[in-house]
Copies of this chain bind each other. A is one copy, B any other.
Amino acid sequence: MGVEHLDYLIEIAENNGLFASYQTTTSQLSKKLSTSQQTVSRNLIEMENQGLIERKVNLNGIELKLTKKSIQLLENLNKRLNSLFNRKSSVLKGIVTSGIGEGRYYVSLPQYQKKFKELLGLLPFAGTLNLKVNLSDLAQFIHNLENIEIPSFSTKERTFGSITCYKVKIKNIDAAIIMPERTRHEKDIIEIIAPFYLRSKLHLKDNSEVLLEK
């Protein structure tokens, strides 16, 4: 699973490429790897026994070379990391649901409507579109999006909680994900505001699939 002796393998690989051999000494390596000469010696023998390296002792020290096995290990690790970092994150898929979100309430209040217009540049339709999304895709999607905060504010009568918004586009319509403060805990249903009643404008029904874009 976890690549054993990874630091050794990378040290060898970075010093002479994946395929050439690396003339060094155990004490040189021990400094680079912050350990003792003896530990390096023992670990290299162990790695050789595991088929991770070829190891030739000579007068000047040791000649080390990665084996196919260890190159493969590094390659697999590289692929796994790549797939973590290269996930498509410019699009988020959502499924239309009719759960009653709290956003619907907020968006109906004139005080917030004004704020939405001011900060997002859109006067929202008095209702939200609820989308069920994959939580981890959501986190990835909004990770690089600008975080537009509508701060909490108070009138004589009551206090209005803050809302976090992210500008998105749905079929080229400017819209926004809104997340009321008190529902900040991660949940897999998000609410979208837009200048139109999206359900009719985009002919959406429950379980329709929608793509949010940045």
| Per-residue contact bits, chain A 1-40, to B (CB 8 Å; 1 contact, 0 not) | 1110011001001101111110000000000111000000
- Assess whether A119 is interfacial by the CB under 8 Å rule: no
Interface size class of A (residues with CB under 8 A): 35 or more
Interface presence of A135 (CB below 8 A): yes
Give the copy number. 2
Known contacts A2-B6, A2-B7, A10-B2; A19 and B81 CB within 8 A of each other: no
Q: How far is the CA of A77 from the CA of B140 in the complex (A)?
A: 20
A186 within 8 A of B: yes
Tell me whether chain A's interface is mostly helix, strand or loop, or mixed. helix
Q: Is A143 a contact partner of B74 (Cβ separation < 8 A)? A: no
Known A1-B33, A6-B2, A10-B80; contact A18-B75, beta-carbon cutoff 8 A: no
- Residue of A7, A13, A19, A77 with highest tally of chain B CB at under 10 A: A19
Q: Which of B7, B85, B137, B143 contacts A75 (CB 8 A)?
A: B85
Cβ contact within 8 Å between A136 and B20: yes
